[in-house]
Amino acid sequence: MVVRMSFAGKGAKDFWGSLIEPEASLLLTRVSDVLTEQGVKSYLVGGFVRDALLGRDTADIDVAVAADALEIAPKVATALGGRYVLLDEVNRVSRVVLVNEAAPSAGGQWQLDFSTFQGSIEQDLARRDFTVDAMAVDLGGIVCQPHPLIDPFNGWNDLHQGVVRAVSEAAFKSDAVRLLRAVRLAAELGFSIDSETEALIRRYCHLIADVAGERVREELLQLLATSRAGEFLTYLDKLGLVTAMIPELNQTKGVEQPKEHSWDVFEHSLKTVSAADFLLGQGAWEYAGEEVLAVVPWSAVLSQHFDLEVSSGSTRGSLLKLAALLHDIAKPQTKAFDGSRMRFLGHAKDGAAIVVNILERLRFSGKEVKLVEAMVRHHLRPTQMSQGELPSRRAIYRYFRDTGEAGIDILFLSLADHLATRGPHLNLAQWRGHAQIVEYVLAQRFQEESLVAPPKLVDGHDLINIFGMSPGHELGQLLEALCEAQASGEIATRDEALAYVRDHLLSRVG
């Protein structure tokens, strides 16, 4: 189907011109000129067309060319001063990356993906995923003469109805990562998935296990980056995708917990993601409102912290939600009874090892794995720092020493865990106490860097040269004891540190 666009008397050229930002329009003109010089027929397709029609800025531009994209893209890169990236040699897909501060992306880059099509553009669109992505516009038509929107699958109508609909039943069989992408698109756009497409997803959900880990990682991170990620993970589970993607979670279903818990381990894990959304200001918590959120520490510094990029495609906020999903994954195998008391001894440590295996399988970076592993391993630590009172300086020092770069994130994971444990039965006094401890630890962390990394008053060479100690375990233990004493305020000068060492050695002799 070809839709001839005409709004308020405007032709297609004027219409597209009103949708595309000047910088993007200039770039498209330059790309069109290069392709025209090469005698290549080209179309804007996919997400760029969809987002332009929705009035959404995007730095990702998809171009379908009636030629070999692996030959065309390098020429475009050279002509525009960009960087060429081979994406898929088998399916002939390439990328050109252009650095430009005006690009509407965090990195200030335009990303042009060139795909090869044979036959007609309508045949190419028939092989795409969803109707809202199966629309095209003649690239040359946008920049030089009016051309209609090419829309053979009524994507324009679905766009205005807010519906994600598969182009055909073959969409998921030909590329199973689209199973996740359907939900991710619905989350990003605020759309719903039509019932027939839902049925197809349930039918083919098992195919996600065969998708390359890095592609699953990319879709999962994009979903976690959205508001209400916990809600959409619950939706993913109803479609059969959560445990197909992470089979280890299947064991947590139906595992009962102590009476203070409102849900079994699996439901608790999903609720913890929703609670993290709530704490980050990215969603509602259906069991509480502003009164609960008001006591949670927040600042511009914390906002920047959770927006900080960890690796390509991930932020500390999205990885906090991932840790929330996985933090209790070892509870099934560690469940035991001490008399009538239910225990999960060692579940944090065992869970950390399981999480490493999961994230390495999904091709997360080493930095991402280390951060999430630390969050899962230490997620109980914030509530163990004190017993009914504010933690000591020594306890805070030990906490940040052990948790490293994950210290701030773990504090918020502990709050999300608390909310998802109590659910509708939250005790406000206990919650305020927990939030107060987090606020105090954060205040100490930001105000006194010495609690994290005290400046050295003496070092190993001093202990060897002055006291005749030998390198080894005892020397290392004494240096760590010095750091703790310094962090707690017991010592503050080099002379005091030397006296501390002298007293320690004398007591050992005595």
Question: What is the DSSP code string of 339-395?
Answer: TTEEE-TTHHHHHHHHHHHHHHHTT--HHHHHHHHHHHHTTTHHHHS-SSSPPPHHH
d(CA 255, CA 324): 17
The pLDDT score that the predictor gives to residue 12 is 39
The pLDDT score that the predictor gives to residue 6 is 33
Tell me: the pLDDT tens digits for 73-114?
A: 999 999 999 999 988 888 888 999 988 755 566 567 888 999
The pLDDT score that the predictor gives to residue 173 is 94
d(CA 348, CA 326): 10
The pLDDT score that the predictor gives to residue 147 is 62
Q: Which residue has the tokens 């105000």?
A: 447
The pLDDT score that the predictor gives to residue 451 is 56
The pLDDT score that the predictor gives to residue 42 is 92
The structural domains of the chain, with segments of one domain joined by +, span 2-161, 168-245, 262-451, 460-509
Which stretches of the chain score pLDDT less than 50? 1-14
The pLDDT score that the predictor gives to residue 7 is 31
Residues 144, 148, 153, 156, CA torsion sign: positive
Contact (CB, 8 A) for 191 and 164:
yes
Phi, psi for residue 150 in degrees, rounded to 5:
-95, 115
Q: Which fold does the domain 168-245 belong to in CATH?
A: Hydrophobic Seed Protein (1.10.110)
Tell me: the pLDDT tens digits for 340-397?
A: 889 899 999 999 999 999 999 999 999 999 999 999 999 999 999 877 789 988 889 8
Q: Which fold does the domain 2-161 belong to in CATH?
A: Beta Polymerase; domain 2 (3.30.460)
